[in-house]
Chains A and B, each alone.
Chain A
Amino acid sequence: MSLDYVKFSPGFESFMPKEYRDMVEHGPFGKKTTVSQMGNFKEILEEHPMCAGCAMTLFIRLAIVAFPNPEDTITVGTAGCGRLAISQAAIPFVYGNYGDQNGVASGLSRGLRIRFGDKPKDVVVMAGDGGTADIGFQQVLHSWFRRERFTTIMLDNEVYGNTGGQESGMTTRGAVLKMAPLGKKFEKMDMVAMAKIAGCAYIATVVPNNPRRVESCIKKAVLIAREVGPTYIQAYTSCNIEYAIPTDQVMADAKAVEDDRYKFAEYVSEDAKAYLSERYGYKEFAQKPVAAITNV
């Protein structure tokens, strides 16, 4: 985006709603904002209709703050709680059909590349566990196999929250939920393993109670997706309503789940490491100098 678009047309300043003026004057467009500055700038996602104590909302806020170029980022999603928040962000959100977010993102990413060439236009999918692992499974996996260059983020609350608490493929075994009256009969789907098999160049599992880690993962995932290949982030974003987690216990639950089954894990392909190191100066992925060959 030309940042001129963010400025007001001369003479219109006083007529714009305050919220819009704040976005132009104090928003993150064209600046390098970080999660540690939250509260000191106008966020792209601010007001939302999500439930009190919703961990998913916190995660989405963190993720959007972490976008490396919000002024050139388009989000894609599908039905689910997350959509209710993302669709109110000050960047475009594309909603297609139920579970087709990775198909839409494939086309969008390709269409934008045709039109804008090398100028980065970041496409980021944010969809729930049902949207990603159940109804959208085929399109998710195929977009990875095709090595489509965009980021997929699963907002994993381990339940269909928006429709009132039904079992999903990402629900843990034994959980009693709607449509699983005797408890879920099979294990939580291992989407991380599938992402790896399908060729994702970057994969991470995170929980929202470590904002800097979330920021770091999102940034890497979006940057790698620009050129190297598909990237996948799976975030535990509990549903405090359907799992009856007291509002003041949501972060403690995230910590407990992190320790139990959602340990931070990160996979970076060798191509992605080289790309991050060479293009964006990530020192941790810089190739170690080959030991000097000593004369014999």
Chain B
Amino acid sequence: MSDPVIIGTKNKKGQIITDPRIMMNEAPRTPSFFTGSEVIKEAVRRANVDVMVAYPITPQSEAAALCGELFAEGYIGDYFRGESEFAVMSQCAGAAFGGARVFTTTAGPGTMRAMENFPMWAGSRLPIQCIVTCRGINSPLSIQPDTIEIAYLMNTGMLVWHAETAQDFYDWILKGYVVSEEPDVHLPLALCCDGFFVTHTKDVVDLTPVDMCLPPYDPYRSPVPCMDMECPPVRMMRDPFVMKSNYISYATHASWQQEVWAAAERSRKHTIAWLDGLIEIEDGDAAVLIISSGTAVSQGREAIRLLADEGVRVGLVKVKTLRPWPEEELREATKHASHIIVPEFNVIGWMAKEIKATIPRSERVVAGPRVCGGMTLPPEVIVEEVKKAIGMRSGVLAGRGG
């Protein structure tokens, strides 16, 4: 990413190609009041993206269309609307195979329709960035916020990060390219946020200078050959392994799959440096902890404030990356916790399951409160769950039955 030869030169749009460390950590920031969708546009404006493919699905349609404006302004090399999410992700793959930096966005049923592509991207080591503005998946039909699609993404081999705020989103789009294009990583990134809550609300976001951009993608730093016929002619496969029923064939497949997951593991060191750790802890010595990711963390913060008013001390752990999963960090952070409350915006409680599978004495984990299908998660519901867990009396919330 930081080829000294190109640092300081200008891209086609006249932006100065800047060392990402300077651009993200040292350059002055301008506070701006934007929706999450507009924040996506502003990050992509500074990301030196070659190709973006778009398709409408709520709640990412606005961001995808705003990137079209960037293309019209000359900030993106090529941009078009595909015919379905599956097609879009295939088109993204093609552009990445050809050595382009690729960006796309999707949500909910679109994520599910595109799903065949995600393990293929990871297996082909294509460092595509896909924004996932999470929403409900069918059925019954819902376009409202719900994070269930993340449960599927976590098993694709992609890097999966979960932004809480628009500021996270802005920074992580840019940092995401830096991490996922590292030669020892070189994996796609699903950068998730909670649809509507982040995409459609306005927030103050500190933007990096508009005349600075990331260095362009260098496809020759890829651990696999770029499909551009600029490499020596080689037979890519001596025998198509897929058709062989023998040990060498199985071992080849197995070792490559292990390598994909090992690459995600190798992203830890880069991610820790760029995101300042895979988790963020507030008042980690408290006996009761709220742990989650995305906007459930924000609601957790509010609950902690309400509980503090009643003299109940509760700490907070914000999980930033789901792949790689912060296993060691969570074991350490929960070492002294007696109760771990995991609020989530999905019916299955994937975050609670991951945490239970990670820490000793998993009976400490309260897999809730959970809402889904677009319901909001009022802090009072989290407060009630905390009180129940620690044996405090709490008033029954209206509408939840006796």
Contact = CB atoms under 8 A, between A and B. Distances in A.
Partners in one complex: yes
Contacts of B120: 96-97
Given A5-B230, A71-B229, A114 B77 contact: yes
Interface stretch (B90-98, B179-187, B254-262, B318-326): B90-98
Contact of B243 (A71, A84, A96, A105): A84
B99 interface: yes
Contacts of A74: 98, 227-229
Contact of B93 (A5, A20, A98, A107): A107
Nearest to B53: A107
A96 B233 contact: no
Interface in A67-93: 71-74, 76, 83-84, 87-93
Contacts of A1: 229-230
Contacts of B219: 115
A96 B116 CA distance: 9
A97 B90 contact: yes
A44 B100 CA distance: 26
Contact of B235 (A88, A98, A105, A115): A88
Interface string A90-110: 111110111010011111111
B344 interface: no
A96 B50 contact: no
B128 to A, nearest CB: 10
A83 B240 contact: yes
Nearest to A138: B83
Given A103-B82, A108-B98, A111-B98, A2 B230 contact: yes
B237 A88 contact: yes
A121 interface: yes
B227 A5 contact: no
Interface in B231-246: 231-240, 243
Contacts of B91: 103-104, 106-107, 110
B229 A88 contact: no
Interface in A1-41: 1-2, 5-6, 20, 23, 27, 29
Contacts of B330: none
A152 to B, nearest CB: 14
A142 interface: yes
A289 interface: no
A272 B304 CA distance: 69
A92 B94 contact: no
B78 interface: yes
B34 interface: no
A30 to B, nearest CB: 11
Contact of A114 (B51, B88, B236, B239): B51
Interface residues of B, number: 44
A27 B233 CA distance: 10
B376 interface: no
Given A72-B229, A74-B229, A138 B239 contact: no
Contact of B236 (A49, A93, A146): A93
A111 B99 contact: yes
A87 B240 CA distance: 7
Contacts of A142: 82-83, 87
A191 interface: no
Contacts of A166: none
B232 A139 contact: no
A112 interface: yes
Contact of B228 (A29, A84, A115): A115
A116 interface: yes
B78 A110 contact: yes
A114 B92 CA distance: 14
Contact of B90 (A93, A109, A116, A139): A139
B346 interface: no
B102 to A, nearest CB: 8
B83 A107 contact: no
Question: Which of A29, A71, A91, A115 has its CB near the most chain B CB atoms (within 10 A)?
Answer: A115
Contacts of A114: 50-51, 77-78, 100
Given A107-B94, A111-B100, A97 B233 contact: no
Contacts of A94: 94, 97, 227
B387 to A, nearest CB: 49
A112 B230 contact: no
B240 A104 contact: no
A116 B235 CA distance: 23
A76 B219 CA distance: 19
B361 to A, nearest CB: 42
A264 B237 CA distance: 34
Nearest to A114: B77
Contact of B80 (A108, A115, A146): A146
Contacts of A84: 240, 243
A97 B92 CA distance: 12
A73 B90 contact: no
A49 B97 contact: no
A96 B235 contact: no
A111 B51 contact: yes
B243 A107 contact: no
A108 B232 contact: no
B100 A88 contact: no
Contacts of A107: 51, 53, 90-98, 100, 102
B98 A115 contact: yes
B117 interface: yes
Given A97-B117, A107-B51, A107-B95, A6 B232 contact: yes
Given A100-B90, A114-B100, 4 more contacts: A72-B229, A100-B93, A103-B94, A110-B100
Which are the 7 A-B pairs with shortest beta-carbon distances? A107-B94, A111-B98, A103-B90, A111-B100, A111-B95, A100-B90, A107-B95
8 contacts: A1-B229, A29-B233, A88-B239, A93-B236, A97-B86, A107-B51, A115-B228, A121-B98
